[in-house]
């Protein structure tokens, strides 16, 4: 079984031309996790996690540190043993397959390039371990380096390269075998913002080219939203929500997801009345507003999520507006970031585009804000 | 602290006051001390060795008498064997330390560190007890019926190799561990994720990256073994004479002046040759096991993909046909094999290091009147005997006073020298550092012999000050190494911030620098104390019948009769080291983490 897995992970010389569209037939593996448990002493790092990953999917594990995302990745890579549950790749259990025969590619947070080898030797290493002969290995390394725009650095050692270049070498080493699964453990966290953004785009394009299933771990919600097909948000050893980026951002299941992904205003309100597709709510200051009826909450208290960019500033008081007092106003370039206090003492965060005719409000200024029913998302 | 001011105006002609406040001056006391008591005698040694009818007379005799030539060859063989054994056994032990965590790691580390700090004399004595006729090994084998009657395991080449390997192993383990611990934990994982099994990961990643640590460990062990005297004397037979033993024996003959010195010079030159060779490849910092003192330049770029020369093509062909397929084949091994190899070999090494010490500690509580294991009953009679015997007590107090004096000299001179070397802009820091720590590589026998004539001339033989100063020659390097590591760990910006807020240099030192290096100073003082407290070889040369130190008493008794009082002394030493390590442990951990 083990050798079968390895050979499956090694499609015979299936190398797409650099920049070509997705290579035919080199679709990634599906991964199934069932009730996965991992304990570190008394600490439960993975608490009965179940996750289905579709072949060729780009899935991100997102969560704060200690939420269990790296643990899950290490379990899948085989660096650690499961304490319970099972993991399957393409319907075959992998518990007893040692890491080096799982045939995955992996990118590490610290890059983990072999300092005693040149770039070429680093990237050739997985091929040579897989039994590819020197000439073929040379050719495929050349193609991969070309694809990662590293050809001119082929003879350098890792210590002679910048962080961004090293990271691209690490990615090249992970994908050179065209593995069906690539694991990425916070690969961009050591890079500065601009570099991070450009490599994000690169990885995304690479995913389309090679078609592998990519499991990406990050604590950066922006990164997760930008890159993923789906995001699994983790907290305290569990997956608290899984969905597409828009789904996660617009329709978080609970307060943790709402506040961890993106900036958010959570407004405490009481459900006044429900009519069909919308409901009316009243916040503590007594203002009544409408919201799309969420998932079956009928009466009682609720938290309403309003994203800062969904709050509109009205020039004058109207039927559906709420008066607020500005406590801070910052000009961030393309957007204005305003913090304001409602009459009941809650703080609202507002982001609006820097459009012609809009000026930065003064601290202490009174504004009138409003939002539509479709801009709210009612949490339990 | 004043280096900042000096550095910002490098071109201004320095006034007297400025020159006085140059931290490089702090090197002066240590330089004067070592110059007088260490360099001068060694130079004198060379002078006497060439003072024959022609300069080479004595050397010709060294190389023409088969006795000495054979001893030289034998010394090389033994040293090489010991260093190789240490390497083979030390590597899995270093990996074991890295692999364990929590309590297990503390125990394994203690299993290496504890023996490292216990006197060679005591550890050799422990082996004599373990392998002796009434020792546990003989008891076990006769008890199991494997031996009809107790066998003589001691006094042959095998026990010399065993004892020396056991005594020197901790150096190797620590040296390899220091390079293993610097490796990114993700590297072996990256290799595994790239399809490499345990052996391929070891061969292609771990081994090449830890080669410097292995080289340093090998050389340190080899060089130490070259000058070994105590262990081969106690554990060897007539056929196992090492070179250093000849020097000590010749020292008893009055008529051998000149020839004696020539023997010492030969040993010293051979030692220095190997150190120079190693320094050429590894950089001399391998001696003090650490940083480049901010002078290190990045290694030049290596053009790996150079023109394919015939040799290169041949190598590539071999790698293609043999190397890679072999690694792939071995990768079929279950990773558990790698894990178990490390655990079993490393565990066996730790057990071998600790076992003799434990046996000696048990025996110290024996109720028997002679050495036997297991003891027929437990009692404190040997402790009573030790504490009530005026000879032992006097030796104990003399040793303590000498060690305390020596520690004070070492810390005062060594710490100020460390300050001078780390904080000044002086050129040639590496060479100065090399000179300061060089006493650790000079065979103690050579040092003792060279000091003897100096001590005679200044009437220092058998004096507390004389012995304390002699011990400080080896104490200063320890202090310099520890304190300069501590100093390099101090954030310069803290000192600059203090100065910026109006603190004069001395206040900066007192309020910022001193608290930061205080733990390092304490550790340095302890190790300098221990060094002197354990020192035997120099004392053999420089002491007198009136001034018996504890190691000298031990030495005399071990050669005369193995009795349980020695086990008491050994146990007390173990206790001392355990307390010291418990106090200094956190400091050392921090020093190593900062390095």
Which residue matches tokens 């060379």? B46
> For position A89, what pLDDT does the model report?
92
One domain, residues A243 and A348: no
From the list B507, B452, B466, B512, the residue with the least C-alpha distance to B487 is B512
Contact A266, A255 (CB under 8 A): yes
What ipTM was reported for this prediction?
0.77
Cross-chain residue pair A79–B196, CB shorter than 8 Å = no
Q: Are residues A43 and A98 in the same domain?
A: yes
Lowest-pLDDT range of B159-163, B232-236, B374-378: B374-378
Rounded to the nearest integer, the mean pLDDT of chain A is 84
A238, A278: one domain: no
Contact assignment for A6 to B195 by CB distance below 8 Å: yes
Q: What is the DSSP string of B471-485?
A: HHHHHHHHHHHHHHH
Q: Which of B551, B529, B543 is nearest to B475 (CA)?
A: B529
- Pairing state of beta strands A230-235 and A58-62? parallel
| B303 vs A contacts (CB less than 8 Å) | 155
Per residue in B230-245, is it b (16+ CB within 10 Å) or e — as a string?
Answer: bbbbbbbeeebbbbbb
Whether residue A145 is contained in a domain is answered as: no
Six token digits for residue B69: 């030539």
**C-beta atoms of B196 and A103 within 8 A:** no
User: In the predicted model, is pLDDT for residue A182 greater than 80?
Assistant: yes
Q: Minimal Cα distance from B336: which residue of A? A: A98
Q: Which residues pair with A62 in a beta bridge?
A: A218, A233
Q: For residue B74, what pLDDT is reported?
A: 93
**pLDDT attached to residue A173:** 92
Domain limit, last residue, from A228, A255, A282: A255
Residue A105: pLDDT above 50?
yes
CA-wise closest residue to A153 among A137, A131, A168: A168
Inspect the interface and report whether the beta carbons of B205 and A114 lie closer than 8 Å. Answer: yes
Residue A193: per-residue pLDDT: 83
* CB nearest A116 (choices: B208, B298, B301): B208
Q: Which of A29-43, B291-305, B397-411, B412-426 is the least confident region? A: B291-305
| Closest Cα in chain A to B328 | A129
Asked if residue A365 and residue A283 are part of one domain, the reply reads yes
Which structural domain, as residue segments, surrounds residue A322?
263-379
d(CA B108, CA B4): 43
Asked if A105's CB is within 8 angstroms of B205's CB, the reply is no
Q: Which residue has the higher pLDDT, B75 or B497?
A: B75
Of A164-168, A314-318, A339-343, the least confident: A314-318
Is B184 in contact with A173 (Cβ distance < 8 A)? no
What number is the average pLDDT over the span B24-48?
91
Q: Within 10 A of B369 (CB to CB), how many other CB atoms are there?
A: 11
Angstrom distance (rounded) from CA B29 to CA B408: 13
* Partners of A184 in beta bridges: A107, A216
Measured over the CA atoms of residue B7, residue B12, residue B13 and residue B15, the dihedral's sign is: negative
CB contact under 8 A, B305 and A118: yes
Which residues in chain A have Cβ-Cβ distances shorter than 8 Å to B189? Answer: 77, 79, 99, 106, 108, 112
Find the range with the poorest average confidence among B73-77, B302-306, B586-590.
Answer: B302-306
More confident residue, A19 or A123: A123
C-beta atoms of B193 and A133 within 8 A: no
Task: Answer whether residue B588 shows pLDDT above 70.
Answer: no
Any domain includes A220: yes
Tokens coding A249: 């951002």
Q: Is the domain of A213 the same as that of A360?
A: no
Instruction: Reduce the DSSP state of residue B371 to 3 states and report it.
Output: coil
Q: Tell if the CB–CB gap between B187 and A114 is shorter than 8 Å.
A: yes
CA angle B290, B447, B267 (to 5 degrees): 85
How far is Cα B82 from Cα B74, in angstroms, rounded to an integer?
Answer: 12
Predicted local distance difference test score (pLDDT) of residue B349: 93
Whether residues A311 and A371 share a domain: the answer is yes
Give the residue-averaged pLDDT of B383-392.
90
pLDDT above 70: residue B293: no
Residue B20 confidence (pLDDT): 62
3-state SS of B118-159 is: CCHHHHHHHHHHHHCCCCHHHHHHHHCCCCCCCCCCCCCHHH
d(CA B23, CA B2): 7
A272-293 average pLDDT score: 79
Please indicate, yes or no, if residue A160 is contained in any of the structural domains.
no
Residues of chain A found within 8 Å of residue B302, distances taken between Cβ atoms: 157
Test the A interface: residue of B183, B190, B194, B197 with most A CBs within 10 Å = B194
Query: Which of the residues A116, A128, A175 would you substitute to probe the B interface, choosing the one with the greatest number of B C-beta atoms within 10 Å?
Result: A128
Strand partners, A336: A331, A352
Find the closest chain A residue to B337 by CA distance. A98
Say yes or no for a CB contact (<8 Å) between A156 and B301. Answer: yes
- The CATH number linked to A195 is 3.40.50.300
- Number of residues that make up chain B: 595
Residue B52 is classified by DSSP as S
Q: By CA distance, what is A6's nearest residue in B?
A: B195
Q: What is the pLDDT averaged over residues B456-464?
A: 89
**Nearest beta carbon to residue A108 from set B190, B205, B331:** B190
Q: What is the pLDDT of residue B287?
A: 72
Of B187, B200, B208, the CB nearest to A129: B200
**CA neighbor of B224 nearest in space, from B515, B511, B446:** B446
The minimal CB distance from A104 to the residues B193, B303, B327 is found for B193
Residues 6+ apart with CB under 8 A from B160: B78, B231, B232, B235, B236, B240
Give B493-505 pLDDT, tens digit per residue: 888 888 888 888 7
Q: Residue A292 sits in a domain of what CATH number?
A: 2.40.50.140
CA distance A211 to chain B (A): 19
Q: Are A347 and A340 in contact (CB under 8 A)?
A: yes
Contact partners, residue B92, CB within 8 Å, separation at least 6: B341, B342, B345, B346, B349
Residue A143 falls inside a structural domain = no
pLDDT of res. B594: 38
Q: Which residue has the higher pLDDT, B3 or A323?
A: A323
Q: Best interface-test mutation with B: which of A5, A105, A112 has the largest number of B CBs within 10 A?
A: A112
Q: What is the pLDDT of residue B279?
A: 83
DSSP-assigned letter for residue B546:
T
| For residue A238, pLDDT beyond 50 | yes
End position of a domain, from candidates A255, A288, A321: A255
Q: What's the pLDDT at A21?
A: 40
Domain boundary among A194, A224, A255: A255
B480: closest CA among B409, B407, B421, B405? Answer: B421
Whether residues A204 and A277 fall in one domain? no
The confidence score (pLDDT) of residue B130 equals 87
Cis peptide before B374 (omega within 30 of 0): yes
Residue of B nearest to A185 (CA): B186
Q: Name the helix (H) or strand (E) containing B406.
A: helix B390-423
Compute CA B468 distance to the chain's CA centroid, rounded to the nearest angstrom. 19
Task: Give the 3-state DSSP-derived string for chain A, with helices as H, strands as E and coil as C.
Answer: CHHHHHHHCCCCCCCCCCCCCCCCCCCCCCEEEEEEEEEECCEEEEEEEEEEECCCCEEEEECCCCCCHHHHHHHHHCCCCCCEEEEEECCEECCCCCHHHCCCEEECCCCCCCCCCCHHHHHHHHHHHCCCCHHHHHHHHHHHHHHCCCHHHCCCCHHHCCHHHHHHHHHHHHHCCCCCEEEEECCCCCCCHHHHHHHHHHHHHHHHHHCCEEEEEECCHHHHHHHCCEEEEEECCEEEEEECHHHHHHCCCCHHHHHHCCCCEEEEEEEEEEECCEEEEEECCCCEEEEECCCCCCCCEEEEEECHHHCEEECCCCCCCEEEEEEEEEECCCEEEEEEEECCCCEEEEEEECCCCCCCCCCCCEEEEECCHHHEEEEC
- Residues A341, A204 within the same domain: no
Structural contact between residues B366 and B236, judged by C-beta atoms closer than 8 angstroms: no
The pLDDT value given to residue B595 = 34
Which of A125, A131, A160 is closest, CB to CB, to B328? A131
* Residue among B190, B320, B327 whose CB faces A106 most closely: B190
Work out the pLDDT band at B402, boundaries 50, 70, 90. Answer: very high
Mean pLDDT comparison of B127-141, B224-238, B365-379, highest-scoring range: B224-238
Q: Does residue A22 register a pLDDT over 50?
A: no
pLDDT at residue B378, rounded to an integer = 87
CA B175 to chain centre: 10
Are the beta carbons of B335 and A159 separated by less than 8 Å? no
- Identify whether residues A87 and A232 lie together within a single domain: yes
Is residue A131 situated within a structural domain? no
Give residue B196's pLDDT.
Answer: 86
Contact B197 A130 (CB under 8 A): no
User: How many whole angstroms separate alpha carbon B469 and alpha carbon B487?
Assistant: 25
Contact criterion met (CB below 8 Å) for B436 and B30? yes
Most confident region among A228-232, A310-314, B289-293 by mean pLDDT: A228-232
- The Cα B80–Cα B82 span in angstroms is 5
The predicted model gives B526-541 an average pLDDT of: 92
* Res. B52: pLDDT tops 60: yes
B312 band by pLDDT with thresholds 50, 70 and 90: low
pLDDT tens digits, B541-570: 998 888 889 999 999 888 877 778 888 989
For the segment B440-452, the average pLDDT, to the nearest whole number, is 92
Cα B336 to Cα B342: distance, rounded to the nearest angstrom: 10
Indicate the Cα dihedral angle B565, B568, B570, B576, nearest 10°: -150
CA-nearest residue to B192 within chain A is: A100
Q: Is residue A88 pLDDT above 60, yes or no?
A: yes
Q: Which of A125, A128, A155 sits opposite B305 (nearest CB)?
A: A155
Q: Is the per-residue pLDDT at B469 higher than 90?
A: yes
Do A214 and A349 share a domain, yes or no? Answer: no
Tokens read off for B141: 């084998």
Note whether residue A339 is domain-resident: yes
For chain B, the C-alpha Rg in angstroms (whole number) is: 26
| Number of structural domains in chain A | 2
- List the structure tokens of B465: 């000050």
**d(C-alpha B178, C-alpha A193), whole Å:** 35
CA distance B433 to chain A (A): 28
Contact A125 B204 (CB under 8 A): yes
In order of A317, B175, B239, B264, B573, the CA distances from B83 in angstroms are: 88, 13, 20, 22, 27
Query: What is the end-to-end Cα distance of chain A in Å, rounded?
Result: 47
Min mean pLDDT across A73-87, A200-214, B138-152, B220-234 is at: B138-152
Comparing alpha-carbon positions, the chain A residue that sits nearest to B184 is: A112
Chain A residues in contact with B103 by the CB 8 A cut-off are none
8 Å CB contact of B209 and A101: no
Is A350 a domain residue? yes
User: What pLDDT score does A53 carry?
Assistant: 92
Q: What does pLDDT average to over chain B?
A: 84
Does residue A219 have a pLDDT over 80? yes
The confidence score (pLDDT) of residue B5 equals 43
Average pLDDT for A141-147: 90
Domains and CATH numbers, chain B: 22-41+384-595 (1.10.3720.10), 56-293+334-379 (1.10.3720.10)
* Subunit contact A100:B190, Cβ cutoff 8 A: no
| Facing A77 at nearest CB: one of B193, B200, B208 | B193
> Does the structure show a pLDDT above 60 at A325?
yes
What pLDDT does A297 receive? 64
DSSP state of B15: P
Lowest average pLDDT, out of B8-17, B311-320, B568-577, goes to B8-17
User: Are the CB atoms for B114 and B581 separated by under 8 Å?
Assistant: yes
- Do A187 and A209 reside in the same domain of the chain? yes
Chain B residues closer than 8 Å to A128 by CB: 324
Q: What is the pLDDT of residue B81?
A: 96
Query: Hey, are the CB atoms on A110 and B186 less than 8 Å from each other?
Result: yes
- Per-residue pLDDT of B13-23, as tens digits, reads 556 666 666 77
Choose among A100, A113, A115: nearest Cβ to B192: A100
Question: Which residue from A minimizes the CA distance to B316?
Answer: A134
Nearest by CB to A126, from B195, B316, B320: name it. Answer: B195
Measured CA to CA, the distance from residue A206 to residue A212 in angstroms comes to: 9
Distance from CA of A85 to the nearest CA of B (A): 22
Any residues with CB less than 8 A from the CB of B294 and at least 6 apart, and which?
B429, B488
Q: Place B102 in a pLDDT band, splitting at 50, 70 and 90.
A: confident
Question: Same domain, yes or no, for A277 and A245?
Answer: no
Q: Closest approach of chain B CAs to the CA of A102, in angstroms?
A: 8
**Looking at the domain assignment, is residue A126 inside a domain?**
no
């Amino acid at each position: 079984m083990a050798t079968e897995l390895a050979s499956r992970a090694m499609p015979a010389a299936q190398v797409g031309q650099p920049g070509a569209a997705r290579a035919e037939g080199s679709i990634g593996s599906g991964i199934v996790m069932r009730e996965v448990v991992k304990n570190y002493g008394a600490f439960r790092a993975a608490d009965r996690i179940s996750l289905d990953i579709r072949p060729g999917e780009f899935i991100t594990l997102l969560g704060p540190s200690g939420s269990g995302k790296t643990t899950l990745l290490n379990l899948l890579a085989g660096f650690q043993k499961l304490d319970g549950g099972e993991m399957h790749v393409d319907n075959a259990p992998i518990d007893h397959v040692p890491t080096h025969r799982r045939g995955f590619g992996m990118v590490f947070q610290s890059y983990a390039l072999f300092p005693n080898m040149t770039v070429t030797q680093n990237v050739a290493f997985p091929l040579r371990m897989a039994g590819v002969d020197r000439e073929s290995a040379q050719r495929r390394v050349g193609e991969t380096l070309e694809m990662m725009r590293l050809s001119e650095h082929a003879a350098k050692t890792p210590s002679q390269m910048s962080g961004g270049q090293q990271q691209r070498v690490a990615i090249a080493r992970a994908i050179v075998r065209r593995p069906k699964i690539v694991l990425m453990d916070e690969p961009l966290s050591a890079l500065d913002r601009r570099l991070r953004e450009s490599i994000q785009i690169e990885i995304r394009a690479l995913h389309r080219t090679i078609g592998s299933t990519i499991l990406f771990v990050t604590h950066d919600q922006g990164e997760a939203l930008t890159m993923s097909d789906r995001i699994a948000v983790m907290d305290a050893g569990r997956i608290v929500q899984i969905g597409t980026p828009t789904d996660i951002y617009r329709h978080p299941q609970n307060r943790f997801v709402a506040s961890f992904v993106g900036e958010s205003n959570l407004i405490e309100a009481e459900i006044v009345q429900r009519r069909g597709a919308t409901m009316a709510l009243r916040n503590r200051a007594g203002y009544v507003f409408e919201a799309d009826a969420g998932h079956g909450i009928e009466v009682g208290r609720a938290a309403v999520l309003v994203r800062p960019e969904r709050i509109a500033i009205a020039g004058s008081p109207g039927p559906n507006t709420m008066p607020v007092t500005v406590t801070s106003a910052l000009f961030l370039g393309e957007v204005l970031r305003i913090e304001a206090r409602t009459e009941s003492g809650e703080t609202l965060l507002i982001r609006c585009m820097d459009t012609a005719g809009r000026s930065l409000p003064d601290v202490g200024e009174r504004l009138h804000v409003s939002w539509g029913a479709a801009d709210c998302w009612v949490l339990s | 602290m004043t280096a900042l001011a000096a550095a910002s105006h490098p071109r201004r002609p320095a006034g007297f006051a400025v020159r006085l406040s140059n931290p490089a001056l702090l090197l002066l006391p240590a330089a004067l001390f070592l110059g007088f008591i260490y360099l001068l005698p060694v130079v004198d040694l060379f002078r006497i060795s060439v003072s024959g009818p022609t300069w080479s007379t004595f050397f010709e005799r060294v190389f023409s008498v088969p006795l000495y030539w054979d001893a030289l060859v034998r010394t090389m063989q033994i040293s090489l064997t010991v260093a190789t054994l240490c390497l083979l056994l030390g590597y899995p032990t270093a990996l074991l330390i890295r692999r364990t965590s929590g309590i297990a790691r503390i125990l394994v580390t203690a299993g290496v560190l504890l023996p490292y700090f216990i006197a060679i004399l005591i550890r050799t004595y422990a082996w004599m007890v373990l392998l002796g006729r009434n020792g546990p090994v003989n008891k076990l084998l006769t008890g199991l019926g494997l031996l009809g009657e107790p066998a003589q395991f001691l006094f042959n080449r095998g026990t010399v190799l065993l004892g020396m390997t056991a005594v020197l192993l901790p150096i190797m383990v620590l040296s390899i561990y220091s390079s293993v611990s610097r490796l990114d934990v993700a590297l072996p994982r990256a290799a595994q994720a790239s399809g490499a099994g345990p052996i391929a990961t070891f061969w292609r990643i771990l081994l090449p990256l830890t080669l410097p640590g292995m080289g340093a460990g090998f050389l340190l062990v080899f060089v130490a073994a070259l000058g070994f005297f105590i262990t081969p004397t106690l554990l060897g037979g007539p056929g196992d004479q090492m070179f250093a033993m000849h020097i000590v024996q010749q020292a008893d003959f009055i008529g051998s002046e000149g020839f004696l010195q020539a023997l010492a010079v030969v040993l010293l030159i051979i030692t220095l040759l190997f150190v120079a060779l190693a320094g050429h490849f590894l950089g001399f910092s391998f001696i003090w096991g650490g940083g480049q003192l901010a002078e290190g330049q990045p290694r030049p770029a290596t053009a790996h993909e150079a023109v394919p020369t015939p040799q290169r093509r041949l190598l590539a062909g071999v790698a293609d046909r043999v190397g890679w397929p072999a690694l792939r084949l071995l990768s079929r091994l279950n990773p558990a094999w790698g894990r178990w190899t490390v655990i079993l070999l490393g565990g066996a090494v730790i057990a071998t290091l600790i076992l003799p010490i434990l046996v000696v500690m048990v025996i110290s509580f024996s109720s028997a009147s002679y050495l036997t294991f297991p003891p027929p009953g437990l009692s404190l009679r040997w402790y009573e005997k030790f504490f009530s015997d005026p000879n032992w007590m006097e030796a104990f107090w003399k040793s303590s006073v000498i060690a305390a004096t020596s520690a004070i000299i070492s810390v005062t001179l060594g710490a100020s020298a460390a300050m001078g070397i780390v904080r000044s802009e002086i050129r040639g820091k590496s060479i100065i550092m090399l000179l300061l720590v060089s006493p650790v590589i000079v065979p103690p026998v050579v040092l003792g012999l060279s000091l003897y004539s100096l001590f005679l001339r200044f009437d220092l033989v058998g004096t507390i000050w004389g012995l304390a100063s002699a011990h400080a020659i080896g104490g200063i390097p320890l202090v310099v190494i520890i304190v300069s590591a501590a100093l390099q760990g101090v954030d310069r910006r803290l000192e600059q911030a203090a100065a910026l807020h109006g603190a004069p240099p001395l206040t900066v030192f007192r309020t910022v620098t001193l608290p930061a290096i205080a733990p390092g100073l304490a550790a340095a003082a302890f190790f300098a104390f221990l060094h002197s407290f354990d020192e035997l070889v120099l004392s053999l040369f420089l002491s007198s019948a009136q001034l018996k130190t504890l190691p000298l008493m031990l030495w005399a008794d071990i050669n005369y009769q193995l009795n349980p009082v020695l086990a008491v002394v050994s146990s007390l030493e173990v206790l001392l080291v355990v307390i010291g390590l418990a106090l200094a442990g956190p400091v050392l951990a921090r020093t190593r983490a900062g390095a």
